[in-house]
Chain A
């Protein structure tokens, strides 16, 4: 029968440690007797198991057990703790003894035990409220003045900008009109020049015709003097 060693793989350790049920133990022993390979494995496992008890435990060399791991405790400054404790105690005492501090016409008054009468407290509250009202009015007035001043400045600035912009637009309009007028004038001047030139040309032609006529008249007088005399007589 071929052995697939699976039983040995599964239970060899438990067999060596004697933890198997009698049935399994018997099966294992049967495998060991039939398979020399498994028998050798069992032998080696037993040796290794026994060998593990032969190890002589070595002492650990001296080493620092905390420097690498434990952070040194953070030292907080003691005066801070004492200061905090003193302040807390003072606050508690002030509450316990009902410490009251008030300022009036006679100056600063510190009293213990809450001996301020209701009327005094009411008067004090009223006075404080009046003061508060006056202060608030002052603050409101200052804020209003500031706001008005700011608004004025903005208006002036806006006006100045508008005027500046308007002036530029007017200047541009005038320039445009002037340019148009100048170009129109130039065109008119050109027309006048053209007309004058035409008149001058006509005058020259007229002069030439007149000269030709004069010449022809003078030539006729030379050729026909009688006619010219008659003509003159006439």
Chain B
């Protein structure tokens, strides 16, 4: 039977939290009530990526892109769009322009994107294995099991030039090859889904939208290196992703795509989920493996690398979710196809979680070599509220800031390192003129100090010292000596820390010092915070010429710091003032000034 309309409802975490599930239920009810239930297929898909405008509902074949849909809109969508064939203009993304512009391909957000990892997100129902299979799903596994040898597969990955998407960018084929060559009767395959960078949600969305791609890739790896057991290490804070993975694994087992004798090939492979408690350091591979083994998640020095000596001392391939999601496509379409996308040193695409002071925050996938400017301005729509761009932070707490000057750098693993940041897992936080750079550095440092496992001194003590100095600077007690110490400690941590967490923790400080030295000096020498973020450095005063003595500010002040008679100039007592800024908001004459 043919359906005449397909309604795709976003089922990602972001949209679910804005009642997308209720929209889905209501649409089903409405289609029943209005007698079109068997003419319309309603599918709950993975994340569309355009989270800023969620919840999102897409109706095909018209390809109408409805945004910010509410559960009560279901009735109108069914009665107007499905039955009468008229788009519900008020819910379309671009209401102003003609009908055409509501099409997905016309939305600027999608124009520059190229989706490999997110190929199925927002299109298939992630809880239905048949839909994955229909989109060339498990075709790569067929090829890997029946047509290719382990060497062929590694050769294909080598041709593709795929590098690990977890942050470091290690060539995937080499990792696999080490494990393959290691002589051992037991080997393991691990998926690192311990995504923990602030603001990053690429892996969660991939697992929620297309869980089978990861299962398929892990099975292919098992066959390549000779492993029969896989683990997905995922944080317990990702309930929806876990739920969908469990469903996917159950369906794959029923179909004989996981378990013993897969597709009659004689190859056995099964996967288990291990829940992490959400420690950031467990994203580090050795710490993650210890956590799976049941020990405390702490890193150990490498070498030996997990590929040779990993889980329970056995050779273990551990890759990040996004890396896994690339693999079935590479096997199906070939390394040469993949190789043509991207730059000389980095092939393929990268998924970024675009957040912060950006107009269209969301999940974007672009070919390597796309510039930051294209991502921020063309896809992201520029800075929210027409503010001025200040910097973009990539690579999470391990990365650095990138300023206006470097926005035209084509992004790949190498170029980001050259401009003082790193690819990381793909978090991209945009800052505007209202953000204080010292405060931002302090935020990231506080995060890494909290998350440091405490095993090695450079990270444990160095991180805390950096934090203390930054605190000192933001309250106006910083000295030039402190400023120099920041760099000394930072460099020492880079050299002396045991794992990447400590080695990269000073990056936000070092890179902000490099690009925004003036702002640090303003805090230290002038004792002022140019953006007005650091409360201790901000001073509110009343301009005697503008004040008419209306008493409005004095009445609003929560700590009674403002004194003055009616029709006389008011004064703020600095020793009492808590710098909440209420007086400034209240004054109708612009008499309250900030310094």
Q: Do A and B come from one complex?
A: no
Please report A residues at the B interface, Cβ cutoff 8 Å.
Answer: none
Interface residues of B (CB under 8 A from A): none
